[in-house]
Structure 1
Amino acid sequence: MQFPESNITSPLSEKTNNKRHFLANKPQFYLHCPSTEAPIESLWEIAAQRLQLLQEIDKLRSRGASFQELTSAIEKFLFLRRQQNEYYSYENIITDRLYDTESRDVLSHYLLRLAFCKQQNAQAWFLQNETVLFQWRLENSPPTQIDTLIDQLQAVWSDEEISLRKVVKNLDQDPEFAQLYHRLYQKLPSSMTLLLYQVPFEQVPELLRHRSVIIRSGYAYLFSEQLTSFLVSRFRSVLSKGLGVLRKMEHFAEEQEQLNLLLESLRESQKFFVNQFSSYSLKDAENLEKAIHLEDLPQAMFHMPLCMFRLMKRLEQNHHLKHGARLQLGLFLKDCGLSMDESLHFWKTEFSKGGISSDKFDKEYAYAIRHHYGREGKRASYTPFSCMKIIQQRPSAHEEHGCPFRELNSASLDTLLQTYGVEEAGCRASIVQKAQEGHFQVACGMTMQMKKTGQQIATSSEEFSPTTTHPNHYFFDSLATKENLSHS
């Protein structure tokens, strides 16, 4: 791996220094809580470094970075942290029991797990970025290390929990495997015996969706090249369950004053990061004089993210939206700049086209709109949904809210993208593929860069490089892009 600076090498290289940063450690599932004791300053140092790396990963993911770009950034971060540690002699405060990289890795993981298990949004943030870190480790691990990981999992878990075992197929007797291997990798296996991994078919939904595995008697057979996808999926599932379990035990940490202060500090650091890079405040729009008004909506619609554009189109067609969709779109429009009176007028006008009388609207719908603006109920002004919150929503079959990249099938998503202004078929296909693979925010980021803005096409990162995945920030980024293009 090469970096811009000529004197920087990959942290994976052991030629000049046999010390590895603890975050470059081998992949593991963190099945056991650590029992190591350490001074609070040591815990703070290792937890802070892990949090900084996860924040770097999150920033890159929000920009739609490829996995290769993530890999380069992770390696550079780890190299610089290792150099910093040596320069400032941080090792001096690490006790002998924490000197080995595995102890620091496990402790830093569990400290962040304990800090972020309380809130659902923080859980989701931690889960997403820890999974990327785990995948990076897998991609940079030799086959022997991955085999060791699998053996450890099989020794700890029951068959129902892991259900992964190695099998060997003779391709003379079973040519179907050779044909699939050739189709996937454009080459034939190097020998007539092929090592495969047998797993229950329900544990590899992505591979099933792309018809990349052979199913027999309820089991899917994975090639060695597909093992990373399976392990990443299992890691995510195990960590998600672990966060839920730890949340019920979190009160034990609060009883230890110093540890509780450390966890609160980590939470505040993460909240500051999310507010800085992933949140939105109407003050930003007001300061930039970008707030929109009712008469701007027809033109502004095509600058909205796809989730909001879809709801606007549905409202145009049906002149009605269900509660979840009204909440998602209404809060978005509120922080785009619509006043409460403008919102009331907007919704009342649209609903009247669908046959809802003025009296019925005032009785059944107006209260909720006033509530969003803090004029009813507990008088709190509600904030718009973040991308993560939208993705986590799972609407029923007859509802329209949620993330279209997650909720729509391939054909419906392709049609919506075309209506949105992504006219290039190849671009739409790339976006749909990312959505099918479960990379919803990446697919959204690609859409941001590929769609037409007015009569200008924003396809390059230089023209449109969004710095956040919050719907309202995206909206104003898109408006700013149009203005920059019109002035150029």
Structure 2
Amino acid sequence: MFKSSHLPLEHADKKSWASGGASSSSPMEYPTPLNFYEKPPMFDVKLEQFEQSALDRLRILAEIESCSARGRPWDETKRIVSTLCQKHLRLSSNTAGGDLGIMDTQKEDERRKDHLSHFVLRLAFCRTEDLRQRFITAESTLFRCRFEEATPAERTLLYESRDFKWVKVDDVEKKSLEANLRATLTGFKNIAEQNDAWDRDAFYKVQWSQVPQLVEHRRVFLKKGWAYVPARQQSAIVFREFEVHLRQALNMTNRAMPQMDEDTRLTPIIDHLSQGFLAGVASDWQYEEGDDTTKLRAEQVDEYAKKHWPLCMRSIHDQLKKDHHVKHYGRLYYTLFLKGMKLDINEAIAFWKKSFQGGKVTEDKFNKEYRYNIRHTYGQEGKRANYQAKTCVALLTGDAEYGCPYRFLAPESLQTRLQISYADQGLQSSDIHEILNNKKGSHFNIACTRVFEITHAKYVKKGEGLGQSETVTHPNLYAERSIEFETKKEGPTKVTSKQEDDDLEGIIMQVD
């Protein structure tokens, strides 16, 4: 794997890799959009581009994992991935825009970004076997999507770029094994179509260990350790080789990580990226001021919690209602969440003051010890920062007691919590098994999304998530979509720029 010296990172305004690719008169550095990522990128890049390119790729990989966890069919997965790639990680075909001119520079820049983003994420996902396997699975799916969209000429360029260790079966051997090889040509409507395929298609033989899936499903003929693969199944060899190569590369990267840890610029970015995979990447949701008709009032919070809150916020609310108190992180997370739901500062003070009634917090103690914290959270005290509600990533990696229940609760406790919270919204005992399976597979955001689908079955079908296949990545996004469906507002919630997940530890006074 590369050291920082191989990939200089700087804040200075040097020529950007994204705008300073190959000249139109020089041969392309990347002759095909299909890349096995064998060599690390060897060009200068700004630190911001280093991180942003990886985040763009991570959004795609997270959605691939989401599609798998939801059991989406391949055609649907491919469509979703293709759409996301057009938005975040476009790779133009060699035939797009002609062979010369500015389009060649654009293609080169796209492929440089793709190259860089892959290697950055290798750093983030090489440290544990679980992360390595998830990365391999998602990257292999992305590669397969791109392979199927590639032109025959682009595939040929890939075949010629490396040794796949296959041997083309000559006509004499093909004829001598005709009966056995014909048996691998399946899926045709009639014998005429099969005869046409037999005359037209070539066969390749590889060591059987290169195509274990084809062997398992009896799609190849085996002889003396060789697997005879029809040309129509040739892609299976390529996909398997991609996975094997990537696994070896990740293991090598992991062994080199102690050297990378010395770079204080990169370590926080790498850690942030690996955490982002937990929740399908941080949401773009951001708090916006609403008009008087959309603002939440203190007396509405209890009703809204029962109908619209995700389990993380519902749990804090229920504990507050029961005990008339929650600890510091519970108050912090819930205050920011309610702020994001347009509960203004005066209503927030009224809500917390009333919620503490019946407990040990007197009005005098509330005014002295809690009012300031609420005002600070709303940016009215201290440095007057506009703190944002916590994302799913923050709740997955933060305080366990008030963090994501799908991650931190034991299966039995999660089952009980779900039944208590959502039984009256359509959640059945038969639904629990699927949700617990998502938890077991570390697909915590998918588990939360599935609960949303079940409790909003009048508005979304299974697999549609929050609508248009969107996955839960933010508690406020969950709540806003729920409210929108109930009020039948048209169009998605307005989204603004990328949220900064502020760290309030040490800023706000901790009072338990």
- Structure 1 residues 375 and 237 mapped into 2: Cα distance closer, same or farther (>3 Å)? farther
Look up the match of 2:413.
Answer: 412
CA contact (8 A) 1:61 1:442 kept: no
CA apart distance, 1:368: 0.7
Look up the match of 1:367.
Answer: 372
The yes-or-no answer on 1:386 pairing with 2:402 is no
Once the two structures are superposed, the pairs formed by residues 92-111 of structure 1 within 5 Å of their partners are: 106-110=115-119
- Structure 1 residues 333 and 37 mapped into 2: Cα distance closer, same or farther (>3 Å)? closer
Aligned residues: 340
CA contact (8 A) 2:427 2:455 kept: yes
CA contact (8 A) 1:24 1:78 kept: no
CA-based RMSD:
5.3
CA apart distance, 1:458: 5.5
Once the two structures are superposed, the pairs formed by residues 175-254 of structure 1 within 5 Å of their partners are: 238=254, 245=261, 248-249=264-265
Look up the match of 1:444.
Answer: 448
- Which structure features the higher share of helix residues? 1
The residue matched to 2:439 in structure 1 has which SS? helix
- Structure 1 residues 412 and 443 mapped into 2: Cα distance closer, same or farther (>3 Å)? same
- Structure 1 residues 50 and 442 mapped into 2: Cα distance closer, same or farther (>3 Å)? same
Query: Structure 2 CA distance, aligned partners of 1:390 and 1:324?
Result: 10
The residue matched to 1:353 in structure 2 has which SS? coil
The yes-or-no answer on 1:478 pairing with 2:482 is yes
**What is the letter of the counterpart of residue 118 of structure 2?**
H
- Structure 1 residues 372 and 77 mapped into 2: Cα distance closer, same or farther (>3 Å)? closer
Name stretches of at least 5 consecutive residues in structure 1 with no aligned partner. Answer: 1-19, 118-125, 149-167, 169-184, 186-190, 192-223, 252-273
CA contact (8 A) 1:423 1:451 kept: yes
The yes-or-no answer on 1:74 pairing with 2:81 is yes
**What is the letter of the counterpart of residue 334 of structure 2?**
L
**What is the letter of the counterpart of residue 296 of structure 1?**
Q
CA apart distance, 1:416: 1.5
CA apart distance, 1:22: 5.8
**What is the letter of the counterpart of residue 309 of structure 1?**
R
The yes-or-no answer on 1:465 pairing with 2:432 is no
- Structure 1 residues 353 and 245 mapped into 2: Cα distance closer, same or farther (>3 Å)? same
Once the two structures are superposed, the pairs formed by residues 136-151 of structure 1 within 5 Å of their partners are: 136=141
- Structure 1 residues 336 and 242 mapped into 2: Cα distance closer, same or farther (>3 Å)? farther
Alignment match of 2:357 (pick from 346, 352, 357): 352
- Structure 1 residues 249 and 484 mapped into 2: Cα distance closer, same or farther (>3 Å)? closer
> In the TM superposition, what whole-angstrom CA distance separates every residue of 1:358-404 from its partner, at most 9, and x where no partner exists?
22222222211110111211112211111222112142xxx3x1111
Query: Structure 1 CA distance, aligned partners of 2:381 and 2:430?
Result: 48
The yes-or-no answer on 1:434 pairing with 2:435 is no
- Structure 1 residues 306 and 478 mapped into 2: Cα distance closer, same or farther (>3 Å)? same
**What is the letter of the counterpart of residue 86 of structure 1?**
A
> In the TM superposition, what whole-angstrom CA distance separates every residue of 1:339-368 from its partner, at most 9, and x where no partner exists?
222212222222232222222222222211
TM-score, normalised to structure 2's length? Answer: 0.52
Query: Structure 2 CA distance, aligned partners of 1:419 and 1:21?
Result: 58
CA apart distance, 1:74: 3.2
Percent of paired sites with the same residue: 24
CA contact (8 A) 2:340 2:476 kept: yes
> In the TM superposition, what whole-angstrom CA distance separates every residue of 1:5-50 from its partner, at most 9, and x where no partner exists?
xxxxxxxxxxxxxxx9966434x6x8x7434689x9xxx9x99998
Alignment match of 1:87 (pick from 88, 97, 103): 97
Query: Structure 1 CA distance, aligned partners of 2:253 and 2:70?
Result: 24
CA contact (8 A) 1:344 1:366 kept: yes
> In the TM superposition, what whole-angstrom CA distance separates every residue of 1:70-101 from its partner, at most 9, and x where no partner exists?
44433577798443763354797769xx98x9
- Structure 1 residues 282 and 480 mapped into 2: Cα distance closer, same or farther (>3 Å)? same
The residue matched to 2:357 in structure 1 has which SS? helix
**What is the letter of the counterpart of residue 261 of structure 2?**
V
The residue matched to 2:488 in structure 1 has which SS? helix
> In the TM superposition, what whole-angstrom CA distance separates every residue of 1:422-444 from its partner, at most 9, and x where no partner exists?
52222221111101110111111
TM-score, normalised to structure 1's length? Answer: 0.54
Look up the match of 2:286.
Answer: 280
The residue matched to 2:325 in structure 1 has which SS? coil
- Structure 1 residues 22 and 129 mapped into 2: Cα distance closer, same or farther (>3 Å)? farther
> In the TM superposition, what whole-angstrom CA distance separates every residue of 1:117-171 from its partner, at most 9, and x where no partner exists?
9xxxxxxxx9999666425258889xxx9xx9xxxxxxxxxxxxxxxxxxx9xxx
Higher CA-based Rg: 2
Query: Structure 1 CA distance, aligned partners of 2:341 and 2:255?
Result: 36
CA contact (8 A) 1:390 1:403 kept: yes
